[in-house]
Chain A
């Protein structure tokens, strides 16, 4: 067989990470010819996710969508958040959101990225989807009726639609001349898992410190997933501290709201930036996930926004699958129209939060203190925040309450 003969597909997804796999899974039974191209070979799964796995906070709505796609979200692997506490170091303001008060089981779920990856991999096995893995795209050409991709292996693919989901500052988008706008916050995130001396009671904490926000998400019983924003120039020092000193610093910054920190896993650091592309829809091409927008993790909105994009695109493509061409302009334009409002709102909100809560300038400190105090005093406002954190809009809220 001639390996270089072009293969015709309806949909080619570049990037088989969480977002790319989700789209593939959502469309697996739609009767489309789908290919996924992933650079990294899948790592044989270990039975237990390691202590150092990165964590994702799934908004309530995101969890519902994953369940709809057939994933079983049992609480031993997907830890429910029953309560969110937001506080400001050295100030009075505290704001708290509670699942019971909002009449839901959980405000969201916390899962390790590795676990979610394995579950998606499992769900996709046996589905009629072609994987080129490990392989990567070396050239892309948009033509009127198709997109032509050449892979490092020499294989050529012709596709009606190309979805780019290969991460922030996407190499495939670059091949198409789509430029990313990068706004550097001058901050870095330190990510690690920590062990406490008592159970977390399913409480997620977000604490605003002068250097930036610090979040601890509940993992299994006494474990927490730490995301600590630091000034970029402090990161190295914090990464190099010995474990005991690091835990002391953490305890100092966070307080004793979760008891005593007794262990920390491997610490990893990465720069915090807002990366966006001017437009995420192009001719026969859609950018998804971090390739379209990489957000600061302050409000935990990045993955959930990406998931809502996947859901909208999958629904539209599914309804268009009976027709011949799923890459046609009007279908993609409808996707753009549906999603642009939510995208702009979440990006704007996250950006404002970063700027408000990482500034140590006094009037801002007073303002954010007042803002937080007000939010906890004023039920409807903080409920509104909770619904947003859960990935719903005010409109859906009224429906959800019916």
Chain B
């Protein structure tokens, strides 16, 4: 994996073209039939996975890293969690805030990188979530480190991302972007996808301990998504506990 070049923008672990991509789509975050429809469809599954391994979300302090338009952040707050959502796409955060005003669900949204936030708020969170985000940044390992720093001793950290292999290329890029049109073309770059072994390698350099991993699958007949243990070939979720 190439390290980002040294320079003025490097301290922010951000890919400007990714920010531009999400900014252009910002207004569609809460369109249930729009570009982010798959995220709305998989959200109950992610929420359930996170709640299950956190022994419920009520009263928990949570930070959602790469919160986008707030789909996951808001659903966790709806379960009674105190949620902070951070992202580097200003337009997405504006949409998230506006939606929060409409739904009456309170989430604290902040424009800040995971690394900077970890400097300020280390060890403050019962639960840290970082979903569908690692494959969009130049240095994912740095994000993993920031997550480990943000979580309280004994707390839970959740990652989800896309595996890198022929099957994920066919399904997540060719299938989802070009054939089925589930997500806009150019949403993902296959070379930025992350193998579970790579993710676990980065996690092993932190006090986090991987505990549960499940694959996200789409039933092509019913159009329903589901989580299962059968494989983690394409989209997968990982639960870790802070051993400190």
Partner of B58, one of A144, A330, A336: A144
- Which residues of A lie under 8 Å from residue B184 when comparing CB positions? none
Minimum distance in angstroms from A344 CB to a CB of chain B:
8
Residue of A nearest to B52 (CB): A333
A283 touching B51 by the CB < 8 A rule? Answer: no
Residue of A nearest to B80 (CB): A283
Minimum distance in angstroms from A345 CB to a CB of chain B:
10
B52 touching A283 by the CB < 8 A rule? Answer: no
Task: Please give the number of chain B residues whose Cβ is less than 8 angstroms from any Cβ of chain A in the complex.
Answer: 14
**In the assembled complex, A177 has its CB within 8 A of some CB on chain B:** yes
B55 touching A177 by the CB < 8 A rule? Answer: no
Residue of A nearest to B226 (CB): A341
B58 touching A142 by the CB < 8 A rule? Answer: yes
Residue of A nearest to B59 (CB): A144
Question: Please, what's the 1-or-0 string for A281-296, where 1 marks a CB less than 8 Å from any CB in chain B?
Answer: 0111000000000000
**In the assembled complex, B79 has its CB within 8 A of some CB on chain A:** yes
Interface positions, chain A 262-287, Cβ under 8 Å from B, are: 278-279, 282-284
Question: Please, what's the 1-or-0 string for B9-45, where 1 marks a CB less than 8 Å from any CB in chain A?
Answer: 0000000000000000000000000000000000010
**Cα distance A333–B57 in the bound complex, in angstroms:** 12
- Which residues of B lie under 8 Å from residue A330 when comparing CB positions? 55-56
**Cα distance A144–B52 in the bound complex, in angstroms:** 16
B59 touching A329 by the CB < 8 A rule? Answer: no
**In the assembled complex, B104 has its CB within 8 A of some CB on chain A:** yes
Partner of A283, one of B44, B48, B56: B56
**Cα distance A333–B48 in the bound complex, in angstroms:** 9
Minimum distance in angstroms from B142 CB to a CB of chain A:
33
- Which residues of B lie under 8 Å from residue A283 when comparing CB positions? 56-58, 79-80
B56 touching A329 by the CB < 8 A rule? Answer: yes
Minimum distance in angstroms from A278 CB to a CB of chain B:
8
B58 touching A333 by the CB < 8 A rule? Answer: no
Minimum distance in angstroms from A285 CB to a CB of chain B:
10
A142 touching B80 by the CB < 8 A rule? Answer: yes
Minimum distance in angstroms from B53 CB to a CB of chain A:
10
**Cα distance A330–B58 in the bound complex, in angstroms:** 13
Minimum distance in angstroms from B104 CB to a CB of chain A:
7
**Cα distance A39–B196 in the bound complex, in angstroms:** 55
A329 touching B51 by the CB < 8 A rule? Answer: yes
**Cα distance A282–B78 in the bound complex, in angstroms:** 9
- Which residues of A lie under 8 Å from residue B44 when comparing CB positions? 278-279
Question: Please, what's the 1-or-0 string for B74-115, where 1 marks a CB less than 8 Å from any CB in chain A?
Answer: 000011100000000000000000000000110000000000
Minimum distance in angstroms from B218 CB to a CB of chain A:
16
B79 touching A282 by the CB < 8 A rule? Answer: yes
Minimum distance in angstroms from B185 CB to a CB of chain A:
30
- Which residues of A lie under 8 Å from residue B104 when comparing CB positions? 177
**Cα distance A278–B78 in the bound complex, in angstroms:** 11
| Residue among B44, B48, B57, B58 with most chain A CB within 10 A | B58
**Cα distance A336–B44 in the bound complex, in angstroms:** 12
Minimum distance in angstroms from A110 CB to a CB of chain B:
33
A333 touching B79 by the CB < 8 A rule? Answer: no
Partner of B55, one of A142, A279, A329, A336: A329
- Which residues of B lie under 8 Å from residue A177 when comparing CB positions? 78, 104-105
Minimum distance in angstroms from B149 CB to a CB of chain A:
26
Of the A-B pairs whose beta carbons lie under 8 Å apart in the complex, a sample of 16, sorted by A's number, is: A142-B58, A142-B80, A144-B59, A177-B78, A177-B104, A279-B44, A282-B79, A282-B80, A283-B57, A283-B79, A283-B80, A328-B56, A329-B51, A330-B55, A333-B51, A333-B52
B interface residues with partner A (beta carbon < 8 Å):
44, 48, 51-52, 55-59, 78-80, 104-105
The 9 closest A-B pairs by CB, nearest first: A329-B56, A283-B58, A283-B80, A144-B59, A329-B55, A333-B52, A142-B80, A283-B79, A283-B56
| Beyond A283-B79, A336-B48, 14 additional pairs, beta carbon < 8 A | A142-B80, A144-B58, A144-B59, A177-B78, A177-B104, A177-B105, A278-B44, A279-B44, A283-B56, A283-B57, A284-B58, A329-B55, A330-B55, A330-B56
